[in-house]
Structures are given as structure tokens and as C-alpha cells.
Structure 1
């Protein structure tokens, strides 16, 4: 089963099944593997309080870990951090524990009962406790002991779980699909629509916008970060080339052998690790290069430390027998050619205060010691200097609002059946994906369109597709034969019922939560 799911894990249907499986599993483990809270909250405080009753941190962490393990089984690999964040597993775990606690309390109010025979039948049917297809009492006791539970505790938890299932099912059993709902669904699936519409994009109206001086000042004031000049620095630096030191150094046979052993993976050949004797010259060269780089860094660090208070880069250069090199003012986006590719140097340079020494910074080129000879902070230029840029951005921002405003006016005209210059989509049927001729892809607009009737032919507000706002009105509706609906009505209602039941259950649980006093531990929220 897991292998099939892994192969089809991109399927939308399978993803929905995942959610159902996971939520059911969380609900079960809350009652089966956790003992619930007696109000003390456990040794590590509480994860949440529901009408004063605590869910312990231990229960929450256990629920989270189990749901995480389940997803790892489903996907056949550990879950990347970004996927876990997207799935919001911690919230799913906590919400499920809260939901089940509320449903459990409601089940008791509803007078739902579970007999001992029902509990026994439920446990006997669990494959976990079966051997050779039959319930095995010794296995049952062994597994409970390994989970530090007694049969009494486990059976009580199963009783509670069955109460929750019965409460949920009783809510679902009350859900029905009416003839009108079935007819509406039939019409949505089989009717054909032709829409007329008026559309506005920012680019259609931007030429109409002439911002005043006051509007430009207001936009600049509210969006200063868009116009700030970048931080700039003019740098002086010296560069120590480790290669120049390598000629004065040597490495012993012991140092070469040690370097070979510490970096054994570098000497990989077709048939494995190459013997030391075959690569000895290469090892010597690499060991010498590393030794020179280490000594160059130590020399730079020691010299910088001794002269840090003076702030005199020229003095440092003389002590190292190097020349000071200079750059003009530059920003992170416009580094001087001499520092192309030296991201670490540029980053450090832009952190320095004017006149401050910095480093050493080691790169592939060598070891840098830096000094910021001049620094210009980020500033917002006066409006007069950037007026054209501010005007363009102000017009762009206002054009978005104007496009929506014009679409809203058009929607009112269409609703009032006032004359309007419209375009037409041509005839099309319902699509879950939301593909609409001429307009484009919009599930939201598709749903709105199929709710239009001859009595209320226009959508009350425009809908956005891409960067364009659409005011729509029903031009024509070609209805599917009513006889087909009458013939298939009962089957359609059966098909629609599971969704209606799930919607009823979700609404019921949502109402329970709305009426409850729920407090989530602030530390737990911060952890998320």
C-alpha cells in the first residue's frame, strides 16, 4: 500500500487521502498511546488548554513525532525542512489533539455510550495484535507493556476513541443533499455558459494618472526604502599572496604523510585510494600550499593586531613589504574590477566604519587587510533629484487601484443592465481547473460564473485574473436536459453526500472550537 502511495504521491486525490489518514491517526494516538491529561499538564508544562483542561507537551510532541514518522513512511524518505514547514505538521498535530478533546467532551454531553463488547470487538480486529490472522492475547500484553500501558488503560482509551467516532458519525448522518443542491450541481456540471465581460488592467489606465506634487511627496515618504541609495565605501587594502611565502618554506616527510592521511579522499583513483608513493609529489605541493596559507594568515592577523589602534594601513604595508591598493567608492552591486568575485572582501568592507581597519579576510587570491578610507551611508535623495523615478512608481501604484475602481464601476453597470461595451467568452462548460475562454485560468471566476442566473446575471464585484480585473455578466446559459437529471438524481445525491458529510462535520468541529476557550502555550507558538 505504501509503495503504491509513494508512486502516486503527486496525485491530488492521494494527497487528500494522506490528510484523512493522518488526521485519523492523530486522533487515535491521542487516545490510544497517550493517557490524556489530568490537569497537571505533565512534567514539562502544557501545549494547550481547552476549557481549562490541559494537553501536555509530552502528548503534543508524541503526536507531532508520530505524524512526522507517518509522512516519512509515505514519502519513503526524511522530510525536508521546507516541506515540513509547508505541511505545517506541528499545527496539524496540535489542532487534532484539541479537536478530539472537544469532540470527546461533546460525545459525553450527547449521551453516547460504548459497550464492553464493542471495545473487545474493536481491539480483536486490530492487525497489530493479530498473529496468523487471529487475535493473540500474549502479543497484546507484550505490546502494551512495551508502550508502558496496562490493558485497563488501553481499553479505556479505545472506549473513548469509539465514542469520538460515534459522535462524528452522528453528525455526518444528519447531513443530507437536497434536490435543489443536486440540481445546482447537475447544472454546474452539464450546463454551458457564455459570459460577457469588461476588463481593466493597470496598463490600460496608467496614462490617465497625473500625480500631483503632494501625491509624489506622500509616496516617497511612505516608500523610502524603494529610493534609498546603497551604502558605498572607498577601500584601501593590502593583499598577502601565500604563494610568495611558499618559496621560503619546506615540509618534512612526516608533514607530508600526515597531510596525505588527513585528506585521503583527495587521492581517489579508478580503483580506489591511490598509494602514497604514487602521489607523493602532489601531496607535497598541496601540503606546502596549505602551510603557506596558514602562515600568511597568521602573519596578517598578528600584524593587524599589533597596529589596530594606530589605524595606519601604510605602516602595516611597510611591515609586510607590500603596497597599499585603493578603490573608488563602490556599492555591493558595483564592486571595482580588482575585487570581482571577492564577495567576502566586499561584505567585510561594507561593514567597516570610516577609518576602521578590518580583516584578515582569506579568499582564493590571498589574505586581505582592509581599511575604509571613505564611507557614504544609505540616504533618500531629495524629491527633486529622483522626481521622474518617484512619479513612475506612483503612477504604477495608482494604476492598480484605478483599474480595480473602473472594474467595480463596470460591475455596477452590468448589474443595472446599463449599456456597456463588452467582450464575450463564447460557450464553455464547467472546469475544475478554471480554464475560461478568452479570460484565462481562474477557478474563483469559474465558480462565480456558474452561480449566475437569469434573475441575478451579474457578479456583484469584479474578480482578478492575473493582473486584470473582470466584471462579468451572464450572456446566455444552455441548460442540460432536465430529464437526465431526474433519471440520475438519486445517484448524484449519493455521490455528493460524502463531501456534504465532511463539510457538516468540519462546520460542527469549527463551532465547538469557536465556543471553547482555547489557550496555546506561548512558548510553543514561538517555537513554530
Structure 2
């Protein structure tokens, strides 16, 4: 979204806005600080209400964010919990508190701020300059009007002022950051001595009784879930399209009767001078200023670019002499467009009023529409004709398909013959699958399909499933070909796996025991041949990839008052590792960029703490009521 360009411009502000900025209906700041008084409210903050409508919109936005982030793993039911709904409501409460405080303090984003931010959003620029055409297209793509977008943007900017006033004021003393950097960059010279389970495998003996006991106590590990293989058929619009052929007569006739659809639109290029109507310049004064500029242009038409740079208040085009580039119909606001398409090339309009203010327009270029030849459009034309015909066929076939698999439930052959389909065969399908596993099953990866397959009608009565829409214009019916009830793998089948697992487990225990014994001896002053230790290496907290996490933590928790010192820890795979720490030092040169990054990171942490304390203070100053029964009813 184009809001991201606004919200991501400062790291600290970005962190906080991620927590409390939720788009609602676009009523502006004023409406949030008044008592809305409509319908059943979910919460109140002082005299300000949070309505069902506002919550529903915030909830939809949150669901869309999760759906985009999780992709195929998104499960709407799993995230529809009381805790998740309360979290969204609390975010609304926090936002309302901030808006109330902003209103009380007279904070508001000015029109100039609004224009400045919009003009600098990269998605709305063309060749480094603000593009009105892109602005209009971006809003249309998001289903927003200009007043809606600017009302929400004004709210975001108002919140940013307040959030930045709290979050951006965290100060980290240089001494503190230097001490943190010293700790982070400290280097320790270590050598390691490894005790791997493989070294002790020959000492491990597992008797049959232990194997059987493990099997009985862990039978759930050896369960085979309920599963089935299916035969299925798919009726789809795309398959019907593939079977259609078109004659040259049909294609030519369609082209001739719809030639207007294959024309490139006429485009115009214009420059303009915009005088805004706002709090700084009322309509009368703005009109008088525009009239004065027009008069000057009528006397000296060649000065249009010069006067645009001097007077135009459109930040995207002023520095380009007012040039807006080429655009077609529907890309500009209506009064502006109507004026442009009436002009002759080089002609200058009168003063034109739009919702932005007053424009003076000069037409600087035009491109006539052109007819695309049949050869050029044949592919898209044939695709459209086939899709139209297939859509009609599919509408009729879908009903017949659904009826046949239901009325003749003992076989899929009737629909195969009638619709020229092919019976497909699945592998083993589990009754229950995660969203990721479902995605891997293709057309059968639909919970409705699996539920139908494992129903009593399918398993006991051996019936076809109903016709299930697994995608737009795609119907599927299946029947169970082979079924396997949930069961446990027999002991004789898994004995080898159990024995290998227990041997690994016991070998790891022996490795740990040997390592801890050696560590105890070293810590008590014992000696160890140098050849036993691995090569020396330098490690630090900043270079974490040098050691496993557990090992790095053990090395830097060690007391290094007296060297050498020894620590031990278990790492992945059951290996126990001893570390001999022989030297502690600081790097000769401190990376200044790293110092600055660490200071920024710590400032963000302190800013978060300050902001959390600020919100807690606001919550204590305002009366906040949560309608939990109404919130619970939303889930039901």
C-alpha cells in the first residue's frame, strides 16, 4: 500500500505505528474524538466510542495482513480466537488514546505537510516527479477516493507527530553505548575438545525388554493416521475451452462487429498551472490570482513554462514547466479532462475549476487512436470467444455434473462418458492435514473434499462425493478407491528404528558423562595433552556463526578472572564439547558503523520502553470500558 511509504520513513515511528495504526473507515480525526453513539459499542475511551463497524474493519485489515504474510499456511479459524480479537480491540483503544491526546494538544497535519508527503511517495512519481495520473490510478486500484485517502493520511501524520515526540526522544549516553560495544566486541581465544556419541557407540547394549518398554510407552509415535486413496474427476471451464475450435468466419465476424474494442485510445499531453484553494488562500483570492496569470499568458503565451515554475502549486509538475506528460480519458479529474480534450494543440484554456483549485491548461501534444489489426489481436480475441462459449457450456454442464454424481453414486463412469473426462488416481490422502500439506495435494488439497471422502457415505456406503467447487469454475467429485484405518506399526517393523534411537540416546549420555568428568578434572587443576585440543579460534558475540548458540553462551558466561578456564556444553547431535578459554582481548579497532548501529538499536529499545510507559499513563488517565460480551459474540 502507498501508506507504507509514509509509515516506514522512521524506524522508531515505524515500530510504534505497526502496533497502533489500523485503517478504519475514513472519518478523520475529529470523528474519533466525538461520541459516535451508533449501535452496540465494543469499547469506550473517555467519551469516545469504538463501534462494531470500526472493529470489523480493523479485524478485516488484520486478517488480510496475516493472509498475505502466511500465504498457504493462513487458517482463518485458527487465528479467530478471543485473544486475537482482544488484541485488535486493544490496538484500537491505544490508537484512540493517542488521537484524543493529539486533539487535546492541537496536533494536526497541515495541508502543506499532506501535499509534501504525497508528492514524495515513490509509487506516485514518474521520472522522479509527482504524477497526478499515477496518484489517481493508485487510489482507484485500492478502491479509495482522494478525500478518503487524504483523511487517513492526515490521521497517520498526526499520529506520527505524537509517536515521534515520545519514541524519538530516547537518548543513549555515549558511555553506555561504548560499554555495550565493548561487551559485544570482546574476543575470547578458545580451543575445543569434542566427545561425540559415535565414540561411545560400541559401549552401548540395548536389551529386548528395553525396546519393548519403549514401544509400549511411545505407541503414538508409531501410529499410521487414517488415510485413503481416491479416484476422482474434474470438470473445469479451462478444459472445456481447450476442446473448442473456432472457424475463420467466426473470428473475422466478431472482429468486424467489435472493431472499436481493438483501438488504442486517443491521448493528450498537457501542461498546467495550478492555484490551490485551501486555508492559506480562499476561493476568491485563488481565482483572482489565476485570472492574473491567465492575462499574462494571453499577452505572452511563450512564458507558460516559466510562469508554471514560478506560480504553480502542483509539486509534481511545477519544476517541469507544468508538464503532465501523455494521458488518456479517465486518468484526470472530470473538469480538467473535459477542458484538455476541447483544446487544439498549442492552445491555452481559460481558468478551469476542479476539486484541487484553479487550473490554466496548455495542450502540448496529441496522439490519435489507432486500429489494431486482426492478426495482432487474434490470440486474445479467440481466447475471449472460447471463454464465452465455455462459460455457457460450463453453466449447463455444472448442474448436470452435480446431479449425475449424486443420482448415480456408485460410479464416476457416467460423468466420464457424458463430459469426456478422465478418471484420475490419487496417492494416499490423510484425513487431517495442515494448510501447507493441503497445498501440496493440488486439486484434492481442499478440506471439503477430504471431509467428504472420509464421511460415512464415502467409506461405508461407497458413494461418490458431491460435486465440490475446489476453485472458481472447477468442480470435483471423488470416491474412495482404497482405505486404511488408523493403526500402529507392529513392534517387529519398528524394532530396528527403536534400537537405533535408543543406542544414539545412550551414546549421547555416555558422551556427556565423559565430557563432564573431563571438565571436572580440568577445573580442579588436571592437565590435558595439547594434541587433544582442536586449533585455536577467536570468537565474539558479534560473530555468532563461529560457534553453536549454546556453545557461544557457555563461553561468554564463563568466569575469565583466571586463565585458562574451561566450560562445557551439549551441542546438536548429542555431542558434548569442552572449551578451553586461554585469552580475552578487545579488537584493536572499533568499527564506527557498528557502534552507530548498536546505538540506534539501543535507542529503539529505550524508545519502545518510553512509549509503552506513555501508553500505560494514558490508560490510567482515561476511563476505558471493554464490552467483553459483545466482543465474545463477534466470535460466535
Give the alignment's TM-score, normalised by structure 2. Answer: 0.43
Q: TM-score, normalised by structure 1?
A: 0.49
